[in-house]
Amino acid sequence: EASSAAPPRRPFSQVTPADLDFFRQLLPGRAITDPDVLESSNVDWLKSVKGNSEVLLRPKTTDEVSRILSYCNQRNLAVSPQGGNTGLVGGSVPVFDEIILSTALMNQILTFDSISGILTCQAGCVLESLSQYLEEQDFIMPLDLGAKGSCHIGGNVSTNAGGLRLLRYGSLRGTVLGLEVVLADGRVLNCLATLRKDNTGYDLKQLFIGSEGTLGVITAVSILCPRKPKSVNVAFLGCSSFQNLLETFQACRGMLGEILSAFEFLDASCMNLLEKHLKLTNPITESPFYIVIETAGSNAAHDEEKLHNFLEKVMTSSLVTDGTVATEEAKIKALWSMRERITEALRHDGYTYKYDISLSVEKIYDLVTHMRERLGDRAQNVVGYGHIGDGNLHLNITSPSKDPALLAAIEPYVYEWTSQYQGSISAEHGLGLKKRNYIYYSKTPEAVTLMGNIKAMLDPKGILNPYKTLPDDIC
Ligand code: FAD
Ligand code: 2HG
Ligand code: ZN
């Protein structure tokens, strides 16, 4: 892609046999050079960015991470931190020969306090494993996303992932209470507090949330977890227009109030892809738009009554044309997969140009309509879905293969359009390699310069995840 094209390799050292000896001694059996294993760690989930690293390190402890970074910093060796490698902006894989530092073996739960609901764990714990662990104790993770089976909590924090429950439990900037981070020179920064309130000076952990591995390697996380709701309902509804969908959202907020835990949408083009590529069956009659509403509460009768009243209202007023409701787990899961598996369906549809924007919710779908008109037959599919409750649209455009002419018709138009309405060009996925140079569409030059100053202070040699997040003119 135009701007994601890799910049020239910076003058880092190259890994020598002596370096390999050091790593092998430090991490017996866990300094991997087998090309078959490296192959998958060098490529991102979308298979759109491919690095050429010859070393994959799998530390188990914070001390090992500290020794690795201290050594790499002295030797001027670049490092690309990697969690579950599900990131969507080319941030999790090396661009050239950066050493891959994986958290895959840092998967220990450290403590869980069942009174406060505070979980402390290593960064490499898989999100779904944490959810399973917590559910046994009647708690849940405050975040959930389609990549839960692979993504690591450290990767989630490093991208400040939003996901499907943000509407209810807020962003990781609120639920993460503490972090342990290894800085570029190997120093361990212990900010692993487990306090709801702590206004002693600057909140340093916030710097590492969403900084995509460019400022430090997160080794442990403490996070505030909600109680497991006793009653969960999911409604899958059809709407004849986006305007009706917005009005349904308004009604939903008013009538479901505190039990609303998700309000997500997909358009008919997404449904076609789910049917075509994943053989999923539309549970209701065909509609231009579909909504997934989840309620989570503590009293089934109360929740069901509220949901019933809401559904009656939106159906009698024709805001919603058809719908189905699930209360048992298997059906809830099936309905959720209509939303969670769109990204997977898109991957089967060819090369995908992905946009992840946030904007005032009334305007948000205009972009999809504009792009369909603008691109006509040049695009294979133009689809819109996302987190309506958070004002976050996922616009995805597919073509049979990479298509520079199509790309030129999409970018920078999409970014200009978003910027014109003061939107964000990356609502929840980050900038990584692919979007780093578009940062100015959402941030002022002064802000970006200050980001560069922070990077220079924390990582003066620039060894941590080079070519990512910050634009090429900054570092
Ligand atoms: P990786 O992909 O391995 O890494 C992501 C970034 O974090 C990279 O820059 C990497 O260098 C850095 N990093 C990883 N671990 C560390 C660490 N310990 N310390 C420092 N830096 C680190 N995102 C959303 O926000 N909401 C969604 O709903 C959502 N759904 C998704 C659904 C699917 C099917 C897929 C494939 C992706 C989805 N994503 C979503 C993208 C999302 O960013 C990631 O899934 C997740 O947060 C990344 O975690 P990971 O462990 O895979 O990190
Ligand atoms: C989602 O909400 C993810 O499903 C992925 O953030 C979005 O693939 C995408 O564009
Ligand atoms: Zn999303």
pLDDT of residue 4: 64
In this structure, the residue with its CA closest to atom 14 of ligand 1 is 155
Do the interacting molecules here have an ipTM over 0.85? yes
Which residues does ligand 2 sit against, CB inside 6 Å? 88, 146, 342-343, 354, 356, 386, 394, 396
Residue 145 beta carbon below 6 angstroms from any ligand 1 atom: yes
Confidence check: pLDDT of 229 > 90: yes
- For residue 88, what pLDDT band results from cuts at 50, 70 and 90? very high
Residue 208 beta carbon below 6 angstroms from any ligand 1 atom: no
Confidence check: pLDDT of 3 > 70: no
* Atom in ligand 2 nearest the alpha carbon of residue 342: 4
The mean pLDDT of 232-248, rounded to a whole number, is: 98
The mean pLDDT of 6-11, rounded to a whole number, is: 94
* Atom in ligand 1 nearest the alpha carbon of residue 430: 43
- For residue 270, what pLDDT band results from cuts at 50, 70 and 90? very high
pLDDT in tens, 387-422: 999 999 999 999 999 999 999 999 999 999 999 999
Residue 354 beta carbon below 6 angstroms from any ligand 1 atom: no
The mean pLDDT of 96-107, rounded to a whole number, is: 98
Confidence check: pLDDT of 430 > 50: yes
Distance 409 CA to ligand 3 centre (A): 24
pTM: 0.98
Q: List the one residue out of 49, 452, 47, 43 whose CA is nearest residue 211.
A: 452
Smallest-distance ligand from the CA of 154: 1
* Atom in ligand 2 nearest the alpha carbon of residue 339: 4
Residue 146 beta carbon below 6 angstroms from any ligand 1 atom: yes
pLDDT in tens, 335-353: 999 999 999 999 999 999 9
In this structure, the residue with its CA closest to atom 10 of ligand 2 is 394
pLDDT of residue 6: 85
By most ligand atoms within 8 Å of CB, the mutation choice from 158, 167, 207 for ligand 1 is: 158
The mean pLDDT of 182-198, rounded to a whole number, is: 96
pLDDT of residue 217: 99
Distance 392 CA to ligand 2 centre (A): 10
Residue 180 beta carbon below 6 angstroms from any ligand 1 atom: no
By most ligand atoms within 8 Å of CB, the mutation choice from 171, 347, 356, 357 for ligand 2 is: 356
By most ligand atoms within 8 Å of CB, the mutation choice from 46, 156, 385, 394 for ligand 2 is: 394
The mean pLDDT of 165-192, rounded to a whole number, is: 98
**Alpha carbon distance, N-terminus to C-terminus of the chain:** 20
In this structure, the residue with its CA closest to atom 45 of ligand 1 is 86
The mean pLDDT of 179-190, rounded to a whole number, is: 98
Distance 9 CA to ligand 3 centre (A): 32
Mean pLDDT (the chain, rounded):
97
- For residue 5, what pLDDT band results from cuts at 50, 70 and 90? confident
Residue 189 phi/psi, 5-degree rounding, is -100, 110
Domains of the chain: 109-224 (3.30.465.10), 231-339 (3.30.70.2190), 349-436 (3.30.70.2740)
pLDDT of residue 2: 47
* Atom in ligand 1 nearest the alpha carbon of residue 87: 2
The mean pLDDT of 431-460, rounded to a whole number, is: 98
